[in-house]
Amino acid sequence: MRIFSGIQPTGDKHLGNFIGGFRQYAQTQELGEGYFCIVDLHSITVEHDPRDLHDRTLDLFAMLIATGLDPERSTVFAQSHVTAHAEACWLLSAVTSYGQLGRMTQFKDKADRREFVSAGLFTYPVLMAGDILLYQTHRVPIGEDQRQHLELARDIAERFNARFGKTFVVPEGIYPDVGARIMDLQEPMRKMSTTGGTEQGTVKLLDEPDTIRRKFRSAVTDSGREIRRGDDKPGVSNLIDILAVATGRTPGEIEVAYDGSGYGDLKRDVGDAVVALLEPVRGRYLELRADEPELLRLLALGADKARAASTPTLEAMYERMGFVRLGQP
């Protein structure tokens, strides 16, 4: 079975990315052949600083290894190192509906927040579909916020297969049972995000332990005193989910364990549990990040493996669409 997922290098990585992304990558690489991509081409769809993109690509690569990906076993690589991604995006744009792209909620949210809306922001989901389809992917571990993009990738695969003959596996998403949508600690009605969330309500993976504890201590809770999940209790539900993930218990077990306790106890314990979860990651990350030549060696290894895996699909796409091919280059 092939597994593929991608993560953007820009913006500080946060607890939502850890739970919906990193943690799932390390788990799903055990299911089969894993491809994990730093989607640097996606990061230029909103205004970016070139220096920042460069450094954060290396930061993220170190973080992917620090959180458990094995670059020798799985293929961990940067999207821009494999030109098939940009090519696949163009070819797939022929079978992507303009109307459907305009209905993507992430596009609408991001476009609403800025004056300059790039064409790339609009076509972003086509690039993402290409990422996935190039590898004949069966499963895509992602958080809930990427569901609509994955559904679009499935539609694109089906449309291409119907028009040009079966070329792609139609992929399925894997969403975490708990924590598929981690919310901002200060504004629990919106998702945790370094671009759209609050500073205090976003726990970054490299925050100091004291900062993490403080952010949880000041988390917004709800009216009432019971520690239980519910639509009327978005703040407490979010804390329960985070504690469940960090301690390996179910949310139900946590509700039972905290019956009769106060919000203060819950907030303290979630903070401690998240510090315990992230501290070893931080240590490994700092060590790996210090050895840039080794990171570049491993990135080159990933690029070679990703090129070899994606080339046959790209070739099939060109051929089936009717392009003249010149044989082996």
Distance of alpha carbon 299 from alpha carbon 311, whole angstroms: 18
Q: Give the residue with the Cβ less far from ligand TYM, 142 or 288.
A: 142
Determine if 235 is a binding residue for ligand TYM (CB under 6 A).
no
Q: Give the residue with the Cβ less far from ligand TYM, 145 or 222.
A: 145
Among 2, 16, 185, 239, binds ligand TYM (CB under 6 A): 16
Among 46, 66, 121, 182, binds ligand TYM (CB under 6 A): 182
Determine if 39 is a binding residue for ligand TYM (CB under 6 A).
yes
Give the residue at shortest CB distance from ligand TYM. Answer: 20
Distance of alpha carbon 188 from alpha carbon 19, whole angstroms: 16
Question: Is 203:218 a contact under the CB 8 Å cutoff?
Answer: no
Nearest residue to 159 (alpha-carbon basis) of 97, 224, 89: 97
Among 8, 75, 202, 237, binds ligand TYM (CB under 6 A): 8
Q: Give the residue with the Cβ less far from ligand TYM, 19 or 239.
A: 19
CB of residue 272 to ligand TYM, shortest distance in Å: 21
Q: Output the furthest CA–CA distance in the chain (Å, rounded).
A: 73
Non-local CB neighbours of 311 within 8 Å, separated by 6+ positions: 84
Residues 239-298 that bind ligand TYM (CB under 6 A): none
Non-local CB neighbours of 286 within 8 Å, separated by 6+ positions: none
Q: Give the residue with the Cβ less far from ligand TYM, 199 or 287.
A: 199
Q: Give the residue with the Cβ less far from ligand TYM, 121 or 227.
A: 121
Q: Give the residue with the Cβ less far from ligand TYM, 8 or 29.
A: 8
Residues 97-156 that bind ligand TYM (CB under 6 A): 128, 131-132, 140, 142-143, 145-146, 149
3-class DSSP string for 135-181: CCCCEEECCHHHHHHHHHHHHHHHHHHHHHCCCCCCCEEECCCCCCC
Beta bridge partners of 77: 37
Among 6, 188, 235, 251, binds ligand TYM (CB under 6 A): 6
Helix axes 209-217, 263-289, angle to 10 degrees: 150
Binding site for ligand TYM (CB under 6 A): 4-8, 16-17, 19-21, 39, 42, 128, 131-132, 140, 142-143, 145-146, 149, 180-182, 191-193
